[in-house]
Copies of this chain bind each other. A is one copy, B any other.
Amino acid sequence: MKHLPHKTIERLSQYRRALLICAAKGKTHIFSHEIAKIQHITPVQVRRDIMLIGYTGTLRKGYNIQELIDLIGDIIDTKEGLNVAVVGIGNLGRAMINYFNGKRTKLSIVAGFDSNPDKIDRIYSGVKGYHIDRLAEIIKEENISIAIITVPAGAAPEIADKLVNAGIKGILNYTPKPVQVPSHIYLEEYDMITSLEKVAFFVKTH
Contact = CB atoms under 8 A, between A and B. Distances in A.
A200 B186 CA distance: 9
Given A146-B203, A203-B82, A195 B172 contact: yes
A107 B195 contact: no
Contacts of A10: 194, 198
A203 B17 contact: no
A11 B115 CA distance: 32
A195 B105 CA distance: 14
A193 interface: yes
A25 interface: no
| Chain A: interface size category | 35 or more
A187 B92 contact: no
A99 to B, nearest CB: 7
A49 to B, nearest CB: 14
Interface in A9-33: 9-10, 13-14, 17-18, 21
Interface stretch (A55-63, A73-81, A131-139): A73-81
Interface string A35-54: 00111100000000000000
Contacts of A146: 196, 199-200, 203
A176 B18 CA distance: 9
A21 to B, nearest CB: 8
Interface string A164-206: 0000011110001110100010111111111111111111101
A186 B77 CA distance: 32
A69 interface: no
